[in-house]
């Protein structure tokens, strides 16, 4: 079967606009990173596999199968469709993932893998689900999944991640580097709420939504562009050692990125 690419993303900017219960509402510009992606494919299981009927992922992951975003996507899709074909597919095939996107990095690797898996199943099994339906399923897996479902190069993402609006602009060439620091996104948000809480207003939100990514990066510092950078540095002090001038912080980290001039 064919291989599918699950692209990384960076947050050109990420600003908090408010809260919704325990969640934080955001306005963020997500941009696809064209030169960084995982690959996913279905591979036939071996007849000798002792656990032939179990859901199987082949790849280098630090978590158990049931904690994996792809497994969660399978479970959410099964719940939504009640598809016998889906169960048969995953009984006969494993999902093989070649990981290139670092984990715990703010690059959306797990979310992108989950979204790509949902789209693969929809295509291979002719489930006939719309992108909106897939995005609804994906949101149960993670807040960033809908962006990857829609497959935009660039988009304004708001709410808690469920509102994805395409932003038409040229895709920028982006270089990333990821220090070997495992960052907890919930922990960074907790520190933000306790020590740095300062949501932007609707006027600032609208201004950002209309701004091209290159313009946004040229008009803001790394701390101005991403509200999670200061709390991340406070909690993970070693991040400071890796920060270089001209780079920006993606998501809750630990990745930094910059635009490479064309």
In this predicted structure, the answer to whether residue 48 has a pLDDT above a threshold of 70 is: no
pLDDT the model gives residue 63: 77
pLDDT in tens, 171-217: 999 999 999 998 999 999 999 999 999 999 999 999 999 999 999 99
Cα–Cα distance for residue pair 209/229, rounded to 1 Å:
20
Residue ranges of the chain assigned to CATH 3.30.70.890: 174-259
pLDDT the model gives residue 133: 97
pLDDT in tens, 79-94: 999 999 999 999 999 9
What is the fold of 174-259?
Alpha-Beta Plaits (3.30.70)
Of 126, 144, 168, 240, catalytic = 144
pTM: 0.93
Per-chain mean pLDDT for the chain: 94
Cα–Cα distance for residue pair 3/42, rounded to 1 Å:
8
103 — pLDDT class (breaks 50, 70, 90): confident
Among 234, 242, 251, smallest CA distance to 194 is for 234
Tell me yes or no: is domain 4-166 CATH 2.40.50.140. no
Among 233, 225, 234, smallest CA distance to 254 is for 233
User: Is 9 designated active site?
Assistant: yes
φ, ψ of residue 67 to 5 degrees: the values are: -90, -10
Angle between helices 84-92 and 109-124 (to 10 degrees): 110
Of 9, 32, 45, 72, catalytic = 9
Q: Do the Cβ atoms of 148 and 21 come closer than 8 Å?
A: no
In this predicted structure, the answer to whether residue 50 has a pLDDT above a threshold of 90 is: no
Give the position of tokens 């900017």: 13
Residue ranges of the chain assigned to CATH 3.30.230.10: 4-166
């Amino acid at each position: 079967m064919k291989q599918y690419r699950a692209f990384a993303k960076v947050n050109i900017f990420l600003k908090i606009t408010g809260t919704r219960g325990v969640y934080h509402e955001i306005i963020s510009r997500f941009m696809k990173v064209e030169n960084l992606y995982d690959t996913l494919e279905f591979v036939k299981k071996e007849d000798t596999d002792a656990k032939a009927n179990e859901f199987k992922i082949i790849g280098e992951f630090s978590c158990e199968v049931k904690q994996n975003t792809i497994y969660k996507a399978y479970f959410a899709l099964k719940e939504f469709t009640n598809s016998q074909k889906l169960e048969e597919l995953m009984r006969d095939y494993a999902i093989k993932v070649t990981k290139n996107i670092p984990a715990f990095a703010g690059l959306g690797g797990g979310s992108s893998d989950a979204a790509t898996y949902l789209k693969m199943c929809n295509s291979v099994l002719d489930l006939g689900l719309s992108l909106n339906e897939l995005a609804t399923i994906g949101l149960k897996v993670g807040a960033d999944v809908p962006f990857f479902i829609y497959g935009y190069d660039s988009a304004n993402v708001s709410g808690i991640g469920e509102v994805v609006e395409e932003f038409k602009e040229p895709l920028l060439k982006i270089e990333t580097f990821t220090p070997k620091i495992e960052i907890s996104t919930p922990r960074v948000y907790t520190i933000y709420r306790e020590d740095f809480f300062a949501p932007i207003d609707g006027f600032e939100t609208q201004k950002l939504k209309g701004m091209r990514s290159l313009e946004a990066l040229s008009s803001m510092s790394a701390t101005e562009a991403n509200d999670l950078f200061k709390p991340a540095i406070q909690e993970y002090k070693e991040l400071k050692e890796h920060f270089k001038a001209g780079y920006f912080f993606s998501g809750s980290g630990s990745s930094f990125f910059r635009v490479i001039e064309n």
